[in-house]
Amino acid sequence: MPAVPEPAPGRPPHARLTRLGVGLLTLALMLGLGWVDRWLGGASPTAYGVLFLPVSVLTALWVRPGDLLVAPVVLPIGFAVGLLPVVDGDRGPGSYAMGLLTALATQAVWLYAGTLAAALLVLARRVVLVAHRRTARSRRHPAAS
């Protein structure tokens, strides 16, 4: 079995997740961070929003090149699911729904910032991937360019 090369210092690991893996990772991380925020920080939606930013960056960096477009799509879903333990809904389902909608509205800046960061990283990775493919194609077929 060939040895897996170690990534260079300062570079992300070579782990690449499929769209299902990215979805599950994002949902699990955000739900876990929501529970940690509730237990440790007294359910602070702002702290939860700040924790969303590194999850967004990791998601955009670890997705497979073929599944790049799924990262910015799954992040808002993960953000909303992770808010479930953070919101205050002590008076029943209606109160819980209003708490979730209020938290989504008041913490939208974190949601947009994380999703925008992931979208920009995905776009940059896609541009590099396309440029790399064009370079490789022009080296194989120099007369075609």
Residue 64 lies in a domain: yes
pLDDT of res. 113: 96
Return the pLDDT at 82: 92
Q: Does any domain span residue 82?
A: yes
Confidence band, pLDDT 50/70/90 cuts, at residue 8: low
pLDDT value, residue 138: 82
- Confirm whether 2 is domain-assigned: no
C-alpha 78 chain-centroid distance: 8
End-to-end CA distance of the chain: 39
Q: What is the pLDDT of residue 125?
A: 92
Q: Which of 58, 65, 52 is nearest to 12 (CA)?
A: 58
pLDDT confidence of residue 127: 93
Any domain includes 125: yes
User: Any idea what the Cα angle at residue 62 is, between residues 8 and 139, rounded to 5°?
Assistant: 65
- For residue 89, give the 3-state DSSP assignment: coil
Domain range enclosing 40:
19-144
Residue 13 lies in a domain: no
Q: Is residue 92 part of a domain?
A: yes
* pLDDT per residue as tens digits for the range 19-75: 999 999 999 999 999 999 888 877 788 889 999 999 999 999 999 988 889 999 999
- In this structure, is residue 68 part of a structural domain? yes
Q: Is residue 10 part of a domain?
A: no
Q: How many domains does the chain have?
A: 1
Hunting for tokens 């073929």 — which residue is that? 66
- What confidence tier does 134 reach under pLDDT thresholds 50, 70, 90? confident
Q: Give CA–CA dist 103/45, Å, rounded.
A: 7
